[in-house]
Every structure is written in structure tokens, then in C-alpha cells.
A and B are shown apart, each in its own frame.
Chain A
Amino acid sequence: MATTSAPGVGLLKGLGVTIKHLFKQPATQMYPKQRPDLAPRTRGVIALMDENCTVCMLCSRECPDWCIYIESHKETVPPAKEGGRARTRNVLDRFAIDFSLCMYCGICVEVCPFDALWWSPEFEYAEYDMGKLLHEKEKLREWMDTVPAPPMLEEGAVAPAEVTDAIAKKEKELEAEAEKQREASAAAEAPKSKAVESGGGAPKKADVEVKGAGEIDQETFDKLIAEGKSERIARSKAKAAWVRKEKERLRAEQESAEGGAEGEGAGEEAAAKPKAAQVEVEAGQIDQETYDKLIGEGKSERMARAKAKAAYVRKERARLTAEQETASAEPATDDAQADDAGAVEGADAEPAPAQKVADVHVEGTGEIDQETFDRLIAEGKSERIARSKAKAAWVRKEKQRIIDEGGDA
């Protein structure tokens, strides 16, 4: 309720508020010159990864507006083996979305079991002719270049099944590796170097295959020899070090090559390469080279811009990842383990620099804040409500206490 004060004060306050705003920076975004900063989940346009489409028709059937048109034919695939059975498969002939009908509910993207449909935040496809809003397969495929990587999930979220599976697998591997290491180091009777070694050899990605023909890492070898290790031990460790480094290098290469497939298998990406996903690339810039090339090929400016933007992000991300990895490769042994630990514990492990109330986890076993409880009861609230609120109040206070203590320490 407004307090009644001397007459005219309200009028003067109004003048004060408006004149205050006169000297502030306007909030206007100069749209065509300044691109809006849209979230990756923005429902702008639907992109089609037609290779993934199996013509299952789920999207078309689930669409509330029936604005997806699919045509296909069956093809007979000759048997893979002699004497096998010939199989038929569906071949996609036409996939069109009529954006003049689409209500952007996202059900098609959601139901697609094969990850063939994706949301892209691009929105500049307005046309003067309604018919042109019918985007055919080729057009929808082009939008695929503008699909951003899905964002990581907020702290406290349960990771998707792909991620949890990958983590479980990784844990198992790590355990086995650690076991092997323990045995090996016990056999080598070199307890001092155990800490240095353990986990160091764990491959971060199983599919990176390194075939060595006995190459050794000279640096490690020299260091170990200088430490007075026997030549045999030094040689074997140096060999292992070489393999590690080689894997590091290969992985970096692979990742920069994979940059183009962003958006694919998001969960796996998040699990297997936390670093790549965490590399923050400032979007919005374009890769001039790609842009010029595409313009030269006669592509529309908008398309060229979108692709060049994607190319820029790809390149930048690869560069940053490579930088990060070379940086982390230097203190070689321990770092790999730290990374793995990070991957296992997932997003939760990130220590927040300043403790936020939301970050503190308080586990209560039904304690209540007596004060609040009494107050609420006195206010005539039901016991159930009073109890639950008092419980909440206890948790609040407890959190505050923990934070205060943390601050003192």
C-alpha cells in the first residue's frame, strides 16, 4: 500500500525516476546489427539429420498440426552373406516441414527415437510467400549446421542414462587399471613411485589405439635413470609414458576432427570429453574463410553466415581444446587422474569459488525449528503445515550456519 505523504511528493518521485533513466544506457538491442544471444535450447527452427531418419513416421503422427510430410520407398538390400536373406529397408524420399503450420511445440524432436530431428535457435527464415515456409529435406539438412551443442545440466541434476552408463564403464576400467598398477608396482618393488604412477596409465578414451614398436619417451627415461632406477624399470616406464603421450596427441587430433559433429550424441560427449564441452567458445563471430568460400559457391548470405559461424566455433573449440591439453600434458602423470576423477564425479565435483546458499547440502533427519513451529501453531496453522515449514526453516538455518562457519574458516 502506498503511504500517503505530502501532496506532490508522488509527482516529484515520478519525475525523479524518469530523469534517472535518461542518463542510463538504453536497453535496446540493435537487432540486425547486433545478433540476439539465444540459448541453445531455443526453439527457432527444426533441423533434420536425414541420415538418421528411418522413416518410422513417429514425428509425423505425433505432430499436433500434421505439418510434417514424409514420403519414402522400400529398397531391397542384397544379402550380406552368401545364402543370407535379402532385407528391405526404407529410403527417405521427401521430408518436409511446413513452418506456416508448425506451432513449435517440439513434440517431433522429442519423440524422434533416432536423433534425426534437432532444434536450432536460428529464426530468420520469414518469407513474403507463405509457400516458401515449406522447408524440404535439403533445406532442413542445411539447418543442421546451425544446431548448437546442448548445454550441460545444472548442478543437482541426474545425468542422462548415456552419461551414467559411460561413467560406470569408466569406473570399472579405472578400477581394473588401478588393480593392475598395484600388482605391477608391487612386483617392481618400487613403492615410492606408486603415487606417481597409479592411474597415470589409464586411457581416457578406450577407442584411441596406440601401437608402439618399443618407442620410449627419452625424457622420462633420462629422469628415471638419473634417479638411480634400474635400466629395465626405466625403459618400461618410459615406454608407458610414450604410449600415454601418444594417446594424448591422438585424442587431441580426434577431437578437433570431431568438432563438426557437435550436437551428435550429446550425452556421450558430455561424459567422455568433459573438457571439450567445457571449452567456452564465444559465439557470434564467423569464420571469414568459410564465409567467403560459401558466398563464392553462391549460397545465400544467411546460410553462409550460419555455416561460417559454426565453422568458427568448431575451429575455436579445437584450438582451445588443444591448448588446454598441451597445458595439462605437462605435469603429465597426476593430471590425467584428476581429469578422470572429474569425469567420474560429474558436474557436482566443481568447487564453487564463493559458497552459494543453494550449493550447500544439508541433510536433515526430520529436525524442525522449534521457534518457527511454535509461531506457526500460535498463528493457527495446521500441525502438518507448521511441521513442514519448521523443517524447511531448520534446513535454512542450518545452511546459513554452515556457510557462516565456512566463511570463518
Chain B
Amino acid sequence: MSDLSTRERIHPGTAPGEDFHLEIIGDGDFDTAEMSLSIGPAHPATHGVFRIVLDMDGERVIGARPVIGYMHRGFEKLAEYRDFRQIMALVNRHDWLSGFSNELGVALAVEQMLEMEVPDRAQWIRMLIAEWNRVLNHLMFIGSFAIELGAITPMFYAFREREDIQHLLESATGGRLHFTYNQPGGLKIDLPKGFMQQSVDLLAQLRKRTPDFTDLILGNEIFQARTKGVGPLPADVALSYGVTGPTLHATGVPEDSRVTEPYLKYDEVDVHVPLGENGDSFDRFSCLLGRIDASLDIIQQIHDHMPAGPVNQKLPKMVKAPEGSTYVRTENPLGQLGYWLESDGGRTPWRLKMRTPSFSNVQAIPYLLNGVLVPDAVAVLGSVFFVVGDIDR
């Protein structure tokens, strides 16, 4: 890289209709100039409307500025005008790949404020569906990360599995992405007949099929060459940015609220948290893959445990949280999701603050992108797992 400090930077981007220009700045000798490349808001690698402006010297990135907010939908404000039943249908839409886990956070917060005892069966079923949701989410990212590295096939394999899981969850909840299955105090309705058997069968099927991903991607030498040592994130930097989930586990920090402060019945099952060492793209991906197996193990334990009993309780016509506030954090598929719920005793929350995992994870991107090549930038973007709706809310 040549010395860029003495030169002026080009104004980023060219206005529409303006002629394309690449200014040569220097003393007349052959010289290079920085180029600013705007990736997104509509770019294949940003799967959503996420924009990142790269300052580049040739193909090397010397600066990165994420521009977020293209998809801001005002969830927190909307929630102040919705009662808790309506919020359930709202929050499963900010991270659309982990709808059930989002609902769960709000339900737990409301239950905590009402000091409600949730029936055992409801808690186990919530765990079962949350874990299936986690598998659903991780499969998506396995596919999309592979696509970003140019391997098209894993996406199709992942989507075949996703289709089966979605079908299973649809039979219980009625939805494929936006489940809307929780309500304060439990679940809307018990599982349909045959669900457990289907779940057992699907588990066996997935156990048979997931090794394909290891063989096809993780073990592939090209994949390893593309990801090992790319975008390493040290544990302390990760923690200082508030990175959570598989991205944090890849750095070797075993922070997972299912283990450290178990909610639901996670203290009654063994939760394995796969960890990485270097925090590079490869570790992030292998943690993601490992988490699928870990979730399948949990699902297996849930199958063995499922108690009988009610799944909900009689609710008043309008659920009102008492005056006060609470903070609930759950381990969402992408990291820690926190809901800070403050109520003035009315039918709607006075304030619902979200701490979404994608937002925090994305903060580490400028650090990670400094000095990498464009292809590696894509490998980094694909392995810092985020959902744009979850960033912008």
C-alpha cells in the first residue's frame, strides 16, 4: 500500500448522472488514488438493505463505514401503542429469522412483571420451538455465507432442511416465519396431535443430513483458504463492542445466557456451547455449524422430558403489566436479545427498549474490515451474522 496520508481523499461516490471520474492526485507521475465503493443498500452480499461504504486502495479496504437505518420501521415506538398481544405479532418481525425467540423475550418480560407462574409444559414446548427456530436460523446463515463465498449448493441443502422444519412449526403455530405462538403466561394452544412424533422423525433426519455441510463446506480446502485467518476478532475487542452469539463464541468467550443465567428450563438440559479459538471467519462458521448440532442435542433432551399438563392460564381480558420496569435477556440465535420493558400500569408498555444482537455485532464490522481485500470483506460480512431488520428495527 502506498502512503495515502499526504493525499486528499476523493469525495465518496459520484452523484447520479454525473460523469464517472477517477481523479489522479499527485505530481504527474503514475499514481493511484483511493476509490470509495458503496456496497449496498442493494447488493447481493448485504442480504437486506444494509449499506457499507468502503474506502479502497485497489482491492484493499482501508476504511469502512456502515450506514444503517434504511430499514428503520420504528418498532420501539410502535410497541408503545400496542397491547401485549399485538406486540407478540410485532416483535417476531424485527429479526424475521428468529421470530419465536423474539416473542419469547417479550412474553418472559411480561410474565416477570406480573410474577406469573408459567406451566411446565408451556416452558418445555417454548424451549422445543425456540431450539427448532435456532436451527432454522443457523441453516439460513450457513447457506448465505456459502453463497457469499461462491458456493451455491449449500444454500439449497439448507433450504430443504428449512422447509421441513418450517412445515413442522407451521403445523403447531400456523406460521412459517412469524409464529405468533406465545402469549403472556404460556402458549396460545397446545401442540397438535402427532407433533412430537414428527419432531422426533425430523430430528433423526437432520442428524443424518447435517454432516453433508461439514463435508461440503467446512472440510473444503478452498473454503478454509478463504476463511482461516480472515477477519480475526480478539475476545476483548468483541466484548468491548458488545458482540454476542456465535460471533462471540468464535473468539473463545462462552457467554450464552442459556448457560450463564438460564431461563425457561435450560438449567435442566445440557447446553453445549461450541467455542472457537481465533475468532476468524472460519471459527465463526464452525461455531454456527456446531450450534446446530448442540441445538439438536437439546431438542433430543426435550423430547425425553416433555411433561403433561396445561400450556396456558386464564388471562384477564386485557393483560396489563404493573407499574415498574424489567429487563429480560435471552439467547437469540444471533446473540443476546434484551427487552427493557417499562410500564406505567396501562394496557401498553410505556417504553420497550430493544437490545438486538445484530445491531451490536455490526458495530465490529469497521474494525474487522480494516486492511482486508474486497473478497475477504465479503467473507467477513457473511460471517458476522446479522439480519438487517434486527439492526435497524
Chain A interface residues toward B at CB < 8 A: 1-3, 5, 7-11, 13-14, 16-18, 21, 27, 38-43, 62, 64, 103-107, 110, 119, 151-158, 347-348, 356-358, 361, 384-385, 388-389, 391-392, 395-396, 399
User: Are A11 and B222 in contact, with the CB atoms below 8 A?
Assistant: yes
Interface class of chain B by DSSP: helix
Task: Knowing that A151-B171, A156-B308, A347-B193 touch, tell me 17 more A-B residue pairs with CB under 8 angstroms.
Answer: A1-B286, A2-B224, A13-B215, A13-B216, A14-B215, A17-B212, A39-B174, A41-B173, A103-B178, A105-B89, A105-B180, A107-B89, A156-B309, A157-B190, A356-B200, A389-B270, A399-B304
Given B121, B195, B215, which contacts A17 in the complex, CB threshold below 8 Å?
A: B215
Chain B interface residues toward A at CB < 8 A: 82, 85-86, 88-90, 121, 153, 157, 160, 163, 167, 170-175, 178, 180, 188-197, 200, 212, 214-216, 218-224, 262, 267-270, 286, 301, 303-311
Within the complex, what minimum Cβ distance (angstroms) separates A364 from chain B?
12
Within the complex, what minimum Cβ distance (angstroms) separates B210 from chain A?
12
Q: A2-B219, A396-B304 are in contact. Are A41 and B190 (CB under 8 A)?
A: no
User: Are B86 and A105 in contact, with the CB atoms below 8 A?
Assistant: yes
Chain A residues positioned under 8 Å from B171 (CB to CB): 39, 41, 151
User: Are A358 and B89 in contact, with the CB atoms below 8 A?
Assistant: no
User: Are A151 and B89 in contact, with the CB atoms below 8 A?
Assistant: no
User: Are B286 and A16 in contact, with the CB atoms below 8 A?
Assistant: no
What is the chain B residue whose CB lies nearest that of A399?
A: B304
User: Are A153 and B160 in contact, with the CB atoms below 8 A?
Assistant: no
User: Are A357 and B308 in contact, with the CB atoms below 8 A?
Assistant: no
Docked Cα-Cα span, A225 to B86, in Å, equals 70
Docked Cα-Cα span, A389 to B265, in Å, equals 10
Chain B residues positioned under 8 Å from A392 (CB to CB): 268-269, 301, 305
User: Are B216 and A105 in contact, with the CB atoms below 8 A?
Assistant: no
Q: A14-B220, A107-B86, A155-B196 are in contact. Are A41 and B174 (CB under 8 A)?
A: yes
Within the complex, what minimum Cβ distance (angstroms) separates B321 from chain A?
18
Q: A17-B215, A154-B193, A157-B308 are in contact. Are A10 and B221 (CB under 8 A)?
A: yes
Chain B residues positioned under 8 Å from A8 (CB to CB): 221
User: Are B308 and A358 in contact, with the CB atoms below 8 A?
Assistant: no
Chain B residues positioned under 8 Å from A154 (CB to CB): 190-196
Docked Cα-Cα span, A64 to B87, in Å, equals 9
What is the chain B residue whose CB lies nearest that of A8?
A: B221
Given A3, A16, A151, A396, which contacts B193 in the complex, CB threshold below 8 Å?
A: A151
Q: Which of B167, B216, B310 has the most CB of A within 10 A?
A: B216
User: Are A388 and B268 in contact, with the CB atoms below 8 A?
Assistant: yes
Chain B residues positioned under 8 Å from A40 (CB to CB): 192
Chain B residues positioned under 8 Å from A18 (CB to CB): 153, 216
Closest 9 CB pairs of A and B: A105-B89, A156-B308, A39-B171, A157-B190, A151-B192, A10-B219, A152-B193, A154-B191, A41-B174
User: Are A105 and B153 in contact, with the CB atoms below 8 A?
Assistant: no
Docked Cα-Cα span, A151 to B194, in Å, equals 9
User: Are B180 and A358 in contact, with the CB atoms below 8 A?
Assistant: no
Chain A residues positioned under 8 Å from B305 (CB to CB): 392, 395
Q: A13-B215, A43-B174, A395-B305 are in contact. Are A64 and B192 (CB under 8 A)?
A: no
What is the chain B residue whose CB lies nearest that of A63?
A: B86
User: Are A64 and B309 in contact, with the CB atoms below 8 A?
Assistant: no
Docked Cα-Cα span, A371 to B196, in Å, equals 30
Docked Cα-Cα span, A1 to B286, in Å, equals 6
Docked Cα-Cα span, A154 to B305, in Å, equals 15
User: Are A358 and B196 in contact, with the CB atoms below 8 A?
Assistant: yes
Q: Which of A3, A14, A356 has the most CB of B within 10 A?
A: A14
Within the complex, what minimum Cβ distance (angstroms) separates A250 from chain B?
29
Chain B residues positioned under 8 Å from A27 (CB to CB): 160, 163
Within the complex, what minimum Cβ distance (angstroms) separates A389 from chain B?
6
User: Are A156 and B121 in contact, with the CB atoms below 8 A?
Assistant: yes
What is the chain B residue whose CB lies nearest that of A389?
A: B268
Within the complex, what minimum Cβ distance (angstroms) separates B352 from chain A?
15
Given A1, A358, A388, which contacts B267 in the complex, CB threshold below 8 Å?
A: A388
Within the complex, what minimum Cβ distance (angstroms) separates B308 from chain A?
3
Chain B residues positioned under 8 Å from A104 (CB to CB): 175, 178
Docked Cα-Cα span, A158 to B195, in Å, equals 15
Chain B residues positioned under 8 Å from A385 (CB to CB): 262, 267
